[in-house]
């Protein structure tokens, strides 16, 4: 595990490195804008809803004021339009840019004649904003407070292209460029975090000290908070504690990556930030997604209430930036929004916030409703709202600075680490969890605010989602000079390379720059029965994944909730750890959703999303069987790569088992269930496999199961997709309990 020492890059290579990133991001931005434009103009509202890109028939249930004086518009499914108040499956996530507009009749296309007549009215009532929170029954959208909100009664929520993220990444790259490639004649910039920045670009070599620094009590021996940590986890923590600039933790599925990071955070907080201070470090924890961040926050919050953890992280010292989460009611108190509004400092804001809320309440009333504001009065009232908001924002700025100043650990998504609240702050350590799911540019947002960096992830699981798939073949020229310098550049082998594609993450780039010496790998997995773990271990982790004895032989039959474990039926269904319903020869053909109405367009969630009805029937039957035999419905997860199949299976099972997770692979990374049913969907004579060709996505899907993995798919189609898929199909045929699917549908 020695560290490779690459030669430092020339100025031209550094320039090309930044320019290439800028160019690839521009391609990606264009692809995203084009896709949204195509989708919104070509697809019927019904198809957009099926693809999870729109939610129709919504009404406003409340309008309130949020941080930044924003209008928070709460949308729900009114009983006048829906029997079930729960939102159908969708892809809306916190932070997504959206548009709220009038609901158009569902059979109209937005660019069709019928819709054209309505479009003007739609635009008049529409507002754009950002998803603030998503619940089972509600979506809250934050809308710029300076705009008047006058929405029609029946609404639709529509996803838009996200330009804010791109703007922030562009700004970050420009900042980085100014730091490492100063303009001719400009003074040499100075930054306290140059050693980190330089080691990420191989301008200098990363360093480690020989021993773990003593803790705040001056104890030289490492005292573990969790004495159950295994040797590879302990080694990874030591490695990170001794790192002076950067270190990576590679965590294959179920190996306790997050568990290890939590111990690392407490170990960091137990020792001085540097040799020159007796104070503990301030830590910035980031992830690419809100979901992963909430997972970390939940664990930190829980431990911070227990001894001895609370000695280094007392209540009130964790702060979550960005949108308050939906995970746990207790967690809301850790958000900046809550503290700013409710702490001692928040008192400053309360009176003015109340007044604002009152005005907005009146303005939100519909015509004819008691207290509704009419005519000229509305204009006057909005003017007052604008003034109040100005005052609110000024007071709020002061409150935010005080609250942030007290936080020892700040959590933010990589993107929101660039928000103005963190301007001019420098953290001692930045941790990026799920770093292999983030494009490199977004990681630089928190990096530029930190002195030391810990990256955790698994390059064999989901990569960042990239739409401009042809970026690898991106041609030189015609790009406004963005690529200049790359073509004739002399690049030292093994040194810093301008990226070929945005899919190459910072984690992987550091691995190829410095070799295995830059990381430590966690080796013991605590999730899967060893039979389930054996295929991923063999094919993707050099057979090095060890199954902990506590999980290696467990089956569904051992679950305490199984009542008749001796019955033949229970044994037949529950004692097998890998089940394969091979649909080969059953003629269970796939279907492309929305054929004839824009369904052929490639989308991020659907490449003309596919479904397979017969397969869905087999899946539903197996799921019902497991639950009837005593497996809790909440412990059965159904995973499929296609959104259309998610919708189809949901329509069969959701009402019966609302607690059962039915989702796409992307939403399940980091999660686990006792039983996972995997529907592969693809079945065609030409062997096209689409999303299944991405082995990392498949790896995530097959490593979510603890006791049983059931695969439903067509081996003859899937086996043609790639060498990896062929190997998997052969393994399933040889190792799984193979069943004939023809009898099931
Ligand atoms: N040393 C340990 N001893 C016992 N259980 C452990 C240990 N480390 C982790 N676990 C358990 O293993 C499970 C997986 O841990 P965790 O969620 O941290 O894994 P992960 O690597 O982040 O997972 P993912 O595959 O989603 O990336 C959890 O239930 C955790 O409690």
Nearest CA to 22 among 167, 194, 164?
A: 167
- The gap from C-alpha 94 to its chain's centroid, in whole angstroms, comes to 10
CB atoms within 10 A of CB 742: 16
Which residue, by CA, sits nearest to atom 8 of ligand 1?
Answer: 256
Gap from CA of 527 to ligand 1 centroid (Å): 7
Q: How far is CA 185 from CA 174, 181, 182, 188, 197, in A?
A: 18, 11, 8, 9, 22
Whole-number Å distance, alpha carbon 462 to ligand 1 midpoint, is: 18
Question: CB of 252 closer than 6 A to ligand 1?
Answer: no
Average pLDDT over residues 464-487: 55
Residue with the bigger pLDDT between 352 and 653: it is: 653
Mutate to test the pocket of ligand 1, among 235, 257, 259, 696 (most ligand atoms within 8 A of CB): 259
Percent of the chain with pLDDT strictly greater than 70: 89
199 neighbors 206 (Cβ within 8 angstroms): yes
Q: Whose C-alpha lies nearest to ligand 1, atom 28?
A: 256
Percent of the chain whose pLDDT exceeds 90: 55
Å from CA of 258 to ligand 1 middle: 7
Quick check: 303 and 262 in contact, CB under 8 A?
A: yes
261 Cα nearest atom in ligand 1: 18
Q: Report the separation in Å between the CA atom of 255 and the middle of ligand 1, taken as the mean of its atom positions.
A: 5
pLDDT at residue 616 in the model: 96
**Is the distance from CB of 17 to CB of 201 less than 8 angstroms?**
yes
Mean pLDDT of 109-116: 38
DSSP per-residue string spanning 545-601? -EEPHHHHT--GGG-TT-S-TTSHHHHHHHS-SEEEEE-TTTT---EETTTTTTTTS
CB 269 within 8 A of CB 410: no
For residue 250, which phi and psi values (nearest 5 degrees)? Answer: -100, 115
Q: Is the pLDDT higher at 615 or at 397?
A: 615
Of ligand 1's listed atoms, the one at least distance from the Cα of 233 is 1
Whether residue 268 has pLDDT greater than 70: yes
- Rounded CA gap, 85 and 77, in Å? 5
pLDDT at 478 over 50: no
Q: Is 230 in the pocket of ligand 1 (CB under 6 A)?
A: yes
Residue that is written with structure tokens 């503990």 in the block: 280
Q: Has residue 517 got a pLDDT over 90?
A: yes
Nearest CA to ligand 1 atom 3: 228
Sign of the CA dihedral running 184, 190, 194, 197:
negative
Report the chain's mean pLDDT, rounded to a whole number: 86
Report pLDDT digits (tens) over 342-358.
777 667 677 777 787 78
Any atom of ligand 1 within 6 Å of the Cβ of 673: no
Q: What is the pLDDT of residue 330?
A: 65
Which residue in the block uniquely carries the two structure tokens 């690839």?
24
Q: Which residues pair with 99 in a beta bridge?
A: 128, 158
Q: Across 137-151, 346-360, 540-554, which has the greatest mean pLDDT? A: 540-554
pLDDT value at residue 176: 96
pLDDT at 743: 74
Task: State in Å: Cα 257 to ligand 1 middle.
Answer: 6
State which ligand 1 atom lies nearest to the alpha carbon of 525.
Answer: 12
- The number of angstroms, rounded, from the C-alpha of 300 to the middle of its chain's C-alpha atoms is 19
DSSP-based three-state secondary structure for 201: coil
Q: How high is the pLDDT of residue 469?
A: 66
Averaged pLDDT, 89-114: 67
> How much is the average pLDDT of 476-505?
67
C-alpha distance from residue 338 to each of 63, 95, 98, 225, 433 (Å): 17, 18, 24, 30, 24
368 CB neighbour count, 10 Å cutoff: 6
Q: Is the ipTM of this complex over 0.95?
A: yes
Q: Across 399-485, where does the E strand assignment appear? A: 409-413, 427-432, 450-457
pLDDT for 476 equals 38
- Considering only CA atoms, which residue is closest to atom 30 of ligand 1? 256
Which residues fall within 8 angstroms of residue 475, CB to CB, at 6 or more apart?
none
Compute the distance from residue 524 Cα to the ligand 1 centre, in Å.
Answer: 9
Q: Closest ligand 1 atom, CA of 226?
A: 1
pLDDT at res. 516: 95
* Mutate which of 224, 526, 529, 666 for ligand 1 pocket (most atoms within 8 A of beta carbon): 526
pLDDT of residue 113: 37
| pLDDT, mean of residues 610-625 | 96
């Amino acid at each position: 595990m020695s560290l490779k020492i690459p030669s430092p890059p020339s100025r031209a290579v550094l320039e090309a490195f930044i320019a290439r990133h800028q160019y690839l991001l521009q391609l990606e931005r264009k692809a995203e804008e084009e896709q949204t434009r195509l989708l919104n103009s070509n697809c019927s509202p019904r198809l957009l809803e099926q693809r999870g890109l729109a939610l129709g028939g919504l009404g406003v249930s409340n309008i309130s004021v949020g941080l930044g004086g924003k209008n928070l518009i709460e949308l729900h499914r009114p009983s006048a339009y829906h029997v079930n108040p729960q939102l159908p499956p969708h892809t809306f996530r916190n932070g997504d840019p959206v548009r709220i507009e009038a609901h158009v009749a569902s059979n109209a296309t937005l660019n069709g004649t019928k819709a054209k007549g309505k479009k003007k009215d739609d635009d008049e009532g529409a507002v754009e904003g950002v998803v603030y929170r998503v619940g089972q029954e509600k979506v809250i959208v934050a809308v710029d407070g300076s705009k008047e909100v006058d929405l029609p009664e029946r609404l639709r929520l529509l996803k838009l292209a996200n330009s804010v993220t791109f703007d922030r990444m562009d700004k970050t790259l420009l900042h980085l460029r100014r730091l490492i490639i100063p303009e001719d004649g400009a003074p040499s910039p100075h930054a306290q975090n140059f050693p980190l920045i330089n080691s990420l670009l191989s301008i200098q070599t990363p360093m480690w000290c020989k021993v773990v620094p003593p803790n705040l009590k001056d104890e030289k021996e490492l005292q573990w908070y969790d004495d159950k940590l295994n040797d590879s986890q302990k080694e990874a923590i030591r490695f990170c504690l001794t790192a002076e600039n950067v270190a990576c933790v590679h965590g294959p599925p179920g190996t306790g990556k997050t568990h290890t990071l939590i111990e690392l955070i407490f170990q960091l907080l137990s020792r001085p930030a540097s040799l020159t201070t007796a104070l503990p470090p301030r830590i910035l924890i980031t992830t690419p997604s809100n979901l992963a961040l909430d997972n970390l926050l939940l664990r930190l919050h829980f431990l911070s209430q227990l001894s001895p953890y609370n000695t280094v992280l007392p209540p009130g010292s964790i702060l979550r930036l960005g949108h308050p989460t939906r995970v746990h009611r207790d967690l809301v108190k850790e958000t900046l929004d809550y503290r700013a509004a409710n702490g001692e400092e928040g008192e400053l804001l309360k009176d003015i916030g109340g007044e604002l809320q009152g005005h907005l309440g009146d303005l939100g009333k519909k015509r004819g409703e008691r207290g509704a504001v009419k005519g000229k009065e509305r204009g006057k009232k909005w003017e007052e709202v604008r003034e109040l908001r100005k005052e609110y924002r000024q007071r709020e700025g002061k409150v935010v600075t005080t609250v942030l100043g007290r936080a020892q650990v700040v959590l933010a998504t990589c993107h929101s680490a660039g928000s103005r609240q963190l301007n001019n702050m420098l953290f001692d350590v930045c941790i990026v969890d799920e770093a292999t799911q983030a494009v490199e540019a977004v990681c630089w947002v928190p990096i530029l605010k930190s002195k030391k960096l810990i990256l955790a992830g698994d390059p064999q699981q989901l990569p960042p989602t990239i739409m401009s798939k042809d970026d690898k073949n991106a041609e030189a020229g015609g790009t406004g000079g963005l690529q200049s310098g790359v073509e004739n550049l002399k690049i030292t082998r093994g040194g810093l390379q301008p990226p070929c594609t945005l899919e190459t993450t910072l984690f992987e780039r550091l691995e190829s720059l410095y070799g295995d010496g830059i990381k430590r790998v966690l080796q013991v997995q605590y999730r899967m029965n060893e039979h389930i773990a054996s295929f991923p271990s063999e094919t993707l982790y050099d057979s090095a994944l060890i199954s902990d004895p506590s999980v290696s032989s467990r089956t569904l039959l051992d679950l305490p909730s199984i009542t008749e474990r001796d019955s033949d039926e229970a044994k037949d269904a529950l004692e097998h750890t890998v089940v394969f319903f091979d649909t080969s020869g059953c003629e269970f053909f796939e279907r492309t959703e929305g054929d004839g109405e824009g369904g052929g367009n490639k989308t991020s969630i659907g490449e003309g999303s596919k479904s397979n009805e017969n397969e869905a029937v087999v899946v539903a039957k197996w799921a019902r069987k497991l639950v009837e035999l005593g497996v809790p419905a909440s412990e059965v997860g159904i995973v499929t790569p296609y959104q259309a199949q998610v919708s189809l299976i949901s329509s069969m099972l959701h009402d019966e088992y609302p607690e059962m997770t039915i989702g796409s692979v992307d939403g399940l990374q980091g999660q686990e269930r006792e039983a996972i049913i995997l529907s592969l969907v693809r079945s065609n004579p030409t062997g096209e496999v689409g999303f299944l060709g991405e082995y990392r996505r498949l790896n995530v899907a097959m490593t979510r199961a603890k006791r049983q993995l059931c695969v439903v798919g067509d081996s003859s189609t899937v086996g043609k997709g790639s060498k990896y898929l062929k190997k998997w199909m052969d393994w399933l045929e040889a190792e799984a309990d193979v069943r004939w699917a023809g009898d099931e549908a």
